[in-house]
Amino acid sequence: MQEILLYGLAKDATESYMEDLLATNCKNEQDIEKVIAVAKQHGFHSFRVAYYNGEKPDFTKIFNK
């Protein structure tokens, strides 16, 4: 089962390493848009959507570039 993760930067955050995980329970695009709308009201910006399928991370891809 695929999990949709939504990240965003808080009002004064400027670097990607400062992202906050905003949602893990979105089921579709409409859910994502609802969370983004509320997050914007609280000053969040620069949203990023990621998908997780339960697979193990393969960190060797980082070193083999």
pTM of the model as a whole? 0.81
Determine the Cα–Cα distance for residues 43 and 3; give it in Å rounded to an integer.
25
Number of domains in the chain: 1
- Closest CA relative to residue 53, chosen from 1, 13, 7: 1
Q: Give the integer Cα–Cα distance in Å for 19 and 24.
A: 14
Question: How many Cβ atoms from other residues are within 10 Å of residue 10's Cβ?
Answer: 16
Q: In 3D, which of 53, 57, 56, 55 has the Cα closest to residue 2?
A: 53
Q: Using one digit for the tens of pLDDT, what is the confidence trace for 4-59?
A: 999 999 999 999 999 999 999 999 999 999 999 999 999 999 999 999 988 887 88
Q: Which residue segment(s) compose the domain that 54 sits in?
A: 3-63
